[in-house]
Structure 1
């Protein structure tokens, strides 16, 4: 199906009834509040625009508010150009958005200065605006030529289709693909429609409609050569008519090239001045009409020179722009022009374009050889793009600027900027290539550029499959830095390499020595020493100084420090590190870093016994990791979710989370994820009474020493019940050595408890008493309560009933407050056996609270603290209307009517997340 133009007007659309019906069904569903998204993909000329135009007309007739934007070839380097076109009519409604989301939108549109937009926050702001409009009128978002839309806008558009399911919003987009291909954007849309060639009967109907007088042989040839492509059918008919019936068949070539040749043939029939004016329009496609006309006049042409093109319908005014009959016309005109002709046109456009970014890009395209002025203009474009969060476009502009400058120092600096922007855009491979180019042109005396590039290289190696400079290489680089601050910064990167890569002692010794040589007392220096030498813990005062000075670039250091102190047995310090990382990332709108820190914090929170808090962190990290495509973080978070839910007796949910952890892509090679999954599986089996399975699963945690150190604390019970106490021996030796090295009272409690559970009766009590003493000092309430449970069970078996109750009763209070139902029920059974009664928790209330989804519970907790819907939206990264929807579900499930009732209804779950 296609809008086919003839001198006397368009021909009726044919051959796409099924596709139109699908569009109509999606439109009807959106009007009823069941939004969605459809991507229409297919080769050039297959009828994508015609189909969506028909769908848009039908939607508008049905009362939908249609918002449109379109990608143009060559405009992809202008950040957020498409989003500007799409959302500009709605900007006056931005005050309804939560503060962070509104600020992100204002920065993108240049309405305010501020931190560059985070892609998730910007996506939520866009979603929030659309949801707001849809409250009054259903909305159709129509995006044409998604493949040419600027990357930042395209990413925002792709955020929407799977998130409007409960809104009166339909997102409809088109994109060009080759035969048999699937667009990379397809996974972002719930529905994908691949347009195929017309059926033979429909193709013949279309040919007869456009060329009724064609001889039978010509009609047959056109049907064969067009292969059912609607545009090819109509253009080949028109080509035959223009040639007076003299056109000959050609060997079948790639259809887009055949069509471009046909369009060029049509253009060649026009006057030379018209062809030059058409080249201006093609080069400036998407620009305002007046801009095109001014450039035409500056070349000595006139507005009238475009009239022949309009009469032939190659070009038509469309709103305040010129639109070609088909995008292939503009690409054919531009690609067939010589380089000097294109440069002349770009120069003319640069002189009249009011938008500084597009003017600079035209000047750069007009440059022949080195052009420092053009390079400087692109540098400014890149800085403004990055300032608004368009990192991909900034990288492109800086790379082009580097190609235009002859001065090597300047080129190196521009390439370093391009590499960092590419890294921020998630283009890791491009960033790595750019870093190689930086090294090739950077002189040893360019300390600032060397350090900037090394920083990008280091950050890339922390987040992507990129080896980067080794720790010893960074030590050498630090020695060349002129100032102590710069040297310490580079050495801190080397220390993180040692921590993350578990470098051998000889490498650590080199980094340690270099750090100690620095005659300063900066917190960063001490943090780096703690990373490279885990045996030397960081004192609290130094950490507080570091926390006070922490910048957004310190996120990786905080993460590494958190892992280091966690592995050293100090879960409280690890939680503090992670919390600081969460705060720094949230304040800097670095959502990916915030998700990583939330995931990291969930482990020590859970380990210290804060089941609700650890679960809240892990659930939020899992949710956001799926939004941001962070599979390793998501898998790790899912293992914590599984362990927390297992302790709470939510076995089905725990099993689902465990399965998710094991199937998320990219998670399998990471031993920490594998070990954490084994630990979660062991806890699940333990709470279900499957002791042999628990023992086997917990042994699987040994693949990662750091995880195994803590998971081993759960080995003793299944080992004792399976008659295999020997399987705890290796862990006991490792844990004893760790306690001797770091003095962790928490780890000491686990060790003594394990010894007690496996010891003969005459020695068990001493170990239990030692475990309790360590537990009181540790502040780990959950593990202390488990220790009391095991001790109480042992005392009851020894018929020391009164003493047993003294330990079982406080254990029950902890388990009830944390919602650890299997352990609470186990304590109650022991108390009954000991002749004591225990009051059960309010069963109905507990069932109601546990029926809440993770997002509903998180929103309910924040609402119970008094936060408004908009404040909650900014906190948990959803739209404010989604918050309202969650609260509506919460009220229904908890059978309450007001926010003031939330604290009582949530009970122990109301504590801050």
Structure 2
């Protein structure tokens, strides 16, 4: 613990979780660390988990941050609003978890800027899930902050435990230390009594203490079997409780059932039960707790022994009394639910309303739990299904994939109204876009559900879902025909949505992207995220990459403004893939790296896998083959088994590029042929097939791709595709035919909007011209390629073009210059570009989901790498490099 505090004092913070069974000494260790920190100038922020209080979202986080909320004004606007919204001090849309978590980190950084901070969380396993999630996010991210986080939890019971790099398991005392403690606590005990206490306590300090001082005959007889330590301690405390009078025991039960109640609420609940706070005085004298602002039990096991030993009806009476007086509607509803047996629509309605309020504040885990509890108390199966559907969707939004899927599957058999069916299908469809969903409904299955709908809008949405499913999985052609036929028959005023679906399954149709984008100009609906992505996919299917980038950019801006970070990750990933095709390798790599960052924070496995695959392809293009292999592995780990076809094909393409760059031409051909798993990827990847196929003596491997790509170029009118087809034909051609094909390819270059592919065409033509001893013309084309390759950091192609120029008798005057993309990490480059536009660190922080102090640290490193000292130098140095 001292090492943790020393590190925080020096600006190298960290987090530790102290685990162990009840009574093992976790609280004592926390108290000692708190005392040490306070004496050494630390700001100490504390939160305490309370059994039964986990239904109130963000209550633990509010208690932890309350002393530093006066620093909120120092945060970027969006981060400040996120904290204010979840704490109920401002109205607004509930923030995405990632935005809130970064805001919490920023606030801790602000507090640590003036003095080191110790955050303590006792009984983390009882902290509400929304707060625990924020604490889990904080734990591994304090390495560059002057703050330490110390939490306690029962062994393997804290959901957030895995986030702590340091986990300290407290073990029982050895026999010698146990005997010493018993002697201190009970010096008059005989040797036999001491041995018995040590034997029964199994080294647990609390058990040793309690059994040493207990006045009840709990050791009179040896039990037939040894009970778990928790139960033995509860029995020890229960023996003390049993010795109290009936009124005091009943008052203790009300206090145990309402540990989260304030003093006024506890007093009122006691009065409702015919009791008063004075009835707790005997319990205080017995050392079971302290009467003050409420009743503070000496140890959580005292509370649990009181509550668990009471009969069910007595417990329900205590909860009824609390439900009548607790002021918070959500907590009151939970107490009322605990007092209810069987179906009760009135109580279910109160839980439903409680869930809505929690959802409005962003406490989605608690909202989901409340909706599930409401469903359990609902008599009508259809209404119960609707509430389970709401629970499933909020669980999905909270990132609890397994629970969301389980709730959805529970609701399905009872779902009778179309709104509930649509919600369930939407939830599972959205889950399937980011993670592998077992037994996910097929595109054909989605059509079956769609045609059963009487509501034309619901039918249309499901048909578009089916179209996207078909497009991503590249399902059988008859399925696409069925989807297209149903879409064509759909009678709906939402023509933009209908056109999106048709654009995916009938790519030969025209697609008016700008008109379709108009449908998304207003505030985004929940489903609009999917539909914008569909529009981008439809533009890609039409081979209009410029339009696709425009849609992905519009989507990214809309999602960012709405705080929808999961959707933003998807849009960044989509734009990254398109930008690579357009030749913006550095921009695409920055987008994909940011998508990986967001996906990892939110557990979006499939999006993270696709983003890693795109970065792997960029690294291969740049000749960074070791990094490329690391990213291939990262994509495979994130994507699960089996990989989505789009991810698998992108990885095959990346491996093919790397193999060709390393001279493994047969491997390159085999990998690029594997991209056939996803036809849209294979269409563009085939352009990288001709060179390794020729070098390995397999020119026939290119013919199928040329035929397919030529047909697609004719269908779509894509100049980019035509250029790639003609370039490949030129490489395969003999003698003078090659020149004409190269010239035809470059004739399409001005309309191709693909700088790297155009530059590669110039390079290949220049190489052919030099080999044909037409040196002057060769130089012209080689010169065209060099700046593009250097600007994108494509070292293998740059080295090849520079060598050709030298062979043609011309040196590369800028050969020693290194572009910014080659010296900065993708995140440093992204932040530097934003800073070059004049944005402040706070504004950049809102853009890239970091704290503004972390943004400053990235800029400091970037300045050193670029050899500059001022922000005003960034535009020039980034432009020149």
User: Shorter-chain TM-score: what band?
Assistant: over 0.9
1:477 and 1:376 map into 2 onto residues whose CA distance is 30
2:668 and 2:425 map into 1 onto residues whose CA distance is 46
Call closer, same or farther: CA 1:873–1:317 in 2, change over 3 Å: farther
Tell whether the 8 Å contact from 1:552 to 1:585 is kept in structure 2 after alignment: no
> What secondary structure does 1:160 align onto?
helix
2:146 alignment partner, one of 168, 176, 182? 168
Q: CA deviation at 1:281?
A: 1.0
> What secondary structure does 1:605 align onto?
helix
* Corresponding residue for residue 167 of structure 2: 192
* Corresponding residue for residue 601 of structure 2: 627
Equivalences for residues 87-166 of structure 1 within 5 A: 87-166=65-144
Tell whether the 8 Å contact from 1:661 to 1:667 is kept in structure 2 after alignment: no
2:823 and 2:66 map into 1 onto residues whose CA distance is 41
Equivalences for residues 303-382 of structure 1 within 5 A: 303-317=277-291, 320-382=293-355
Tell whether the 8 Å contact from 2:616 to 2:631 is kept in structure 1 after alignment: yes
> What secondary structure does 1:369 align onto?
coil
Call closer, same or farther: CA 1:411–1:690 in 2, change over 3 Å: closer
2:876 matched to 1:901?
no
Unaligned runs of 5+ in 2: none
1:874 and 1:841 map into 2 onto residues whose CA distance is 38
* Corresponding residue for residue 61 of structure 2: 83
* Corresponding residue for residue 3 of structure 1: none
2:56 and 2:131 map into 1 onto residues whose CA distance is 10
Q: CA deviation at 1:416?
A: 2.4
> What secondary structure does 2:119 align onto?
strand
* Corresponding residue for residue 887 of structure 1: 859
2:210 alignment partner, one of 235, 241, 259? 235
Equivalences for residues 471-620 of structure 1 within 5 A: 471-479=443-451, 481-521=453-493, 522-548=495-521, 551-620=525-594
> What secondary structure does 1:117 align onto?
coil
Q: CA deviation at 1:693?
A: 4.7
1:453 alignment partner, one of 418, 424, 432? 424
Tell whether the 8 Å contact from 2:443 to 2:466 is kept in structure 1 after alignment: yes
TM-score computed with the length of structure 1 as normaliser = 0.91
Call closer, same or farther: CA 1:864–1:276 in 2, change over 3 Å: same
Q: CA deviation at 1:696?
A: 4.4
Please say which of residues 850-859 and 545-554 is displaced more in the overlay: 545-554
Please say which of residues 40-49 and 511-520 is displaced more in the overlay: 511-520
* Corresponding residue for residue 5 of structure 1: none
2:832 matched to 1:867?
no
2:71 and 2:724 map into 1 onto residues whose CA distance is 57
> What secondary structure does 1:761 align onto?
coil
Q: CA deviation at 1:720?
A: 2.0
Q: CA deviation at 1:132?
A: 0.6
* Corresponding residue for residue 274 of structure 1: 248
> What secondary structure does 2:17 align onto?
strand
Tell whether the 8 Å contact from 1:552 to 1:588 is kept in structure 2 after alignment: no
Call closer, same or farther: CA 1:662–1:427 in 2, change over 3 Å: closer
* Corresponding residue for residue 12 of structure 1: none
> What secondary structure does 2:475 align onto?
coil
> What secondary structure does 1:723 align onto?
coil
* Corresponding residue for residue 763 of structure 1: 737
TM-score computed with the length of structure 2 as normaliser = 0.95
1:860 and 1:204 map into 2 onto residues whose CA distance is 64
Q: CA deviation at 1:153?
A: 0.5
1:489 and 1:575 map into 2 onto residues whose CA distance is 23
Equivalences for residues 287-298 of structure 1 within 5 A: 287-298=261-272
2:641 and 2:446 map into 1 onto residues whose CA distance is 29
2:7 alignment partner, one of 29, 33, 47? 29
Tell whether the 8 Å contact from 2:348 to 2:377 is kept in structure 1 after alignment: yes
Call closer, same or farther: CA 1:278–1:881 in 2, change over 3 Å: same
2:614 and 2:385 map into 1 onto residues whose CA distance is 44
1:472 and 1:730 map into 2 onto residues whose CA distance is 29
* Corresponding residue for residue 387 of structure 2: 414
Q: CA deviation at 1:790?
A: 0.3
Please say which of residues 155-164 and 463-472 is displaced more in the overlay: 463-472
1:283 and 1:251 map into 2 onto residues whose CA distance is 30
Q: CA deviation at 1:665?
A: 6.0
2:176 matched to 1:205?
no
Q: Deviations over 1:699-747 (max 9, x none)?
A: 4434433322222211211222233323323333332343344332222
2:744 matched to 1:773?
no
Q: CA deviation at 1:779?
A: 1.3
1:671 and 1:510 map into 2 onto residues whose CA distance is 22
Call closer, same or farther: CA 1:285–1:408 in 2, change over 3 Å: same
1:879 and 1:121 map into 2 onto residues whose CA distance is 10
1:441 alignment partner, one of 409, 414, 426? 414
Tell whether the 8 Å contact from 1:568 to 1:738 is kept in structure 2 after alignment: no
Call closer, same or farther: CA 1:714–1:506 in 2, change over 3 Å: closer
Tell whether the 8 Å contact from 1:537 to 1:565 is kept in structure 2 after alignment: no
2:510 and 2:877 map into 1 onto residues whose CA distance is 43
Q: CA deviation at 1:863?
A: 0.4
Call closer, same or farther: CA 1:244–1:260 in 2, change over 3 Å: closer
Query: How many corresponding residue pairs?
Result: 878
> What secondary structure does 1:413 align onto?
helix
Q: CA deviation at 1:289?
A: 2.4
Q: Deviations over 1:836-893 (max 9, x none)?
A: 34321563x64x7633222222111110111111110000000011111111222222
Please say which of residues 757-766 and 162-171 is displaced more in the overlay: 757-766
1:61 alignment partner, one of 18, 39, 47? 39
Call closer, same or farther: CA 1:650–1:499 in 2, change over 3 Å: closer
2:218 and 2:536 map into 1 onto residues whose CA distance is 79
> What secondary structure does 1:214 align onto?
coil
1:91 and 1:450 map into 2 onto residues whose CA distance is 43
1:348 and 1:93 map into 2 onto residues whose CA distance is 39
1:882 and 1:449 map into 2 onto residues whose CA distance is 44
1:828 and 1:242 map into 2 onto residues whose CA distance is 91
Call closer, same or farther: CA 1:190–1:544 in 2, change over 3 Å: same
Tell whether the 8 Å contact from 1:315 to 1:325 is kept in structure 2 after alignment: yes
Off by >6 Å, runs of 4+ in structure 1: none
